[in-house]
């Protein structure tokens, strides 16, 4: 399979390297980014560490015609979009024009509003179907791997699923006073917006980080976790039958929250332009310039990520709760591909998804699909081989109701 990867950030580097490590499947690999120097750095890694030559190009993926021109030059069978979520629609448009399959790891959001929803991309269903090509949405870790855990549970472990809690812990230490593990702009937009979860057929909104719960993560232990809205909830509500409630939890350390709240209070997380000395500046984009590049955190990063799904439902007439999860070590991922574990867990699933397409397990039908709509079993087998081992653990109880509020929002 010939692939074009758009985006040469921390996760894009993992995708390119893991494709290079599967050279029997990926016969040609081409990497493109707005910053050509990033592509060349990944190109050198693929050559030195994995003995594979990849092509590189400079590309502004906001310009549809530029992407069309590159696709026509490279002639890939699949475009893997590892660029910013703002660029999803432009890249999908280029794939439509050239009739090439598409895959991404995060759903579209407009640059001027922190509101990530799938409806913009779902609207491409008829266009992709008519073009005879496939778009696979949200094939990262969360969304992505966590969606597939839910699909695997629905197919193999339960007769009915009633409750899902997606739990995401990074217990690593990068040694920085404040840094984000993926694109700072996307990360801070995600955390500072209002949260929500789905229960009893409706969306319930919350204040940012309003609810807090101590969760016991495998190989990590108990960590304070906060309720967020995350994009996979929207598609899982549609595709997991019998669901009564679904929520998303993520860990944040006290220092991270302190820094984030100060930045928010002084306006540094604003996404609208302000005028400074006669020049328009978007504060959050300026802040991104000041913060460490996520790829720079990998060297010396210690600790683990622990991410999974707590799923409760019925099997053979009895109530059952399981945790399906992965644990990833920052030091080990750095040794393999010079990336920290957050980038690694994001980068391995799209490579696995591409392998699913190359082997004919996925992509049999034209249209737009979230990963949980596709067969989870061959993916689960392959993703373990690619470096993300997974485990199923039976639990005595689920995560229960919302009980604890942060002091800031307590009545």
- Map 202-226 to HEC letters: EEEEECCCCEEEEEEECCCEEEEEE
Alpha helices in 52-197 (DSSP H): 64-74, 88-98, 119-122, 125-131, 145-152, 184-192
Whole-angstrom Cα distance, residue 400 to residue 411?
21
Whole-angstrom Cα distance, residue 398 to residue 393?
12
CATH fold of 145-335+391-409, please? Dihydrodipicolinate Reductase; domain 2 (3.30.360)
Report the top-level CATH class of 2-141+339-385: alpha beta
pLDDT value of position 96: 98
pLDDT value of position 120: 96
* pLDDT < 70 stretches in the chain: 114, 177, 179-186, 295, 407-411
The percentage of the chain sitting over the pLDDT mark of 70, rounded to a whole number, equals 95
Residues of the chain with CATH 3.30.360.10: 145-335+391-409
pLDDT value of position 411: 41
CB 351 within 8 A of CB 388: no
Whole-angstrom Cα distance, residue 206 to residue 254?
20
DSSP annotation of 338: S
pLDDT value of position 183: 66
Q: pLDDT by residue (tens digit) across 54-96?
A: 999 999 999 999 999 999 999 999 999 999 998 999 999 999 9
Contacts of 288 (CB under 8 A, 6+ apart): 183, 184, 185
Residues of the chain with CATH 3.40.50.720: 2-141+339-385
Exposed, middle or buried, 168 (CB in 10 Å: 0-12/13-18/19+)? buried
pTM of the prediction?
A: 0.92
């Amino acid at each position: 399979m010939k692939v074009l990867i758009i985006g040469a950030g921390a996760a894009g580097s993992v995708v390119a390297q893991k494709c290079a490590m599967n050279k029997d499947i990926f016969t040609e690999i081409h990497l493109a980014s707005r910053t050509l120097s990033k592509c060349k750095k990944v190109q050198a890694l693929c050559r030195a560490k994995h003995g594979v030559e990849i092509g590189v190009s400079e590309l502004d993926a906001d310009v549809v015609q530029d992407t069309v021109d590159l696709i026509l030059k490279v002639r890939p069978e699949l475009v893997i979009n590892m660029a910013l979520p703002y660029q999803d629609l432009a890249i999908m448009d280029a794939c439509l024009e050239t009739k090439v399959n598409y895959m991404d790891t995060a759903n579209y959001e407009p640059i001027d509003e922190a509101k990530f929803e799938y409806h913009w991309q779902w609207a491409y269903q008829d266009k992709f179907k008519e073009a005879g090509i496939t778009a696979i949405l949200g094939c990262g870790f969360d969304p992505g791997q966590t969606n597939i855990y839910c699909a695997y549970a629905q197919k193999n472990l339960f007769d009915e699923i009633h409750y899902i809690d997606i739990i995401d812990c990074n217990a690593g230490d990068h040694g920085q006073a404040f840094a984000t593990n993926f694109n700072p702009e996307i990360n801070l937009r995600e955390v500072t917006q209002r949260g929500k979860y789905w229960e009893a057929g409706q969306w319930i909104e919350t204040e940012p980080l309003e609810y807090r719960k101590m969760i016991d993560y495998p190989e990590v232990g108990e960590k304070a976790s906060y309720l967020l809205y995350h994009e996979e909830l929207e598609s899982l509500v549609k595709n997991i039958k019998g669901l009564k409630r679904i929520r998303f939890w993520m860990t944040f350390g006290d220092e991270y929250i302190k820094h984030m709240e100060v930045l928010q209070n002084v306006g540094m997380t604003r996404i609208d332009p302000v005028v400074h000395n006669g020049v328009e500046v978007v504060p959050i984009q300026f802040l991104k310039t000041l913060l460490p590049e996520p790829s720079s955190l990998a060297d010396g990063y210690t600790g683990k990520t622990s991410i999974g799904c707590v799923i409760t439902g019925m099997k053979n007439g009895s109530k059952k709760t399981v945790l399906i999860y992965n644990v990833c070590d920052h030091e080990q991922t750095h040794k393999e591909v010079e990336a920290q574990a957050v980038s690694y867990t994001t980068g391995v699933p799209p490579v696995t998804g591409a392998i699913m397409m190359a082997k004919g397990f996925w992509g049999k039908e034209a249209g737009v699909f979230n990963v949980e709509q596709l067969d989870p079993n061959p993916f689960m087998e392959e993703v373990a081989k690619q470096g993300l081992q997974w485990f199923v653990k039976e639990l005595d109880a689920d995560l229960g109701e919302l009980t604890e509020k942060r002091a800031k929002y307590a009545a």
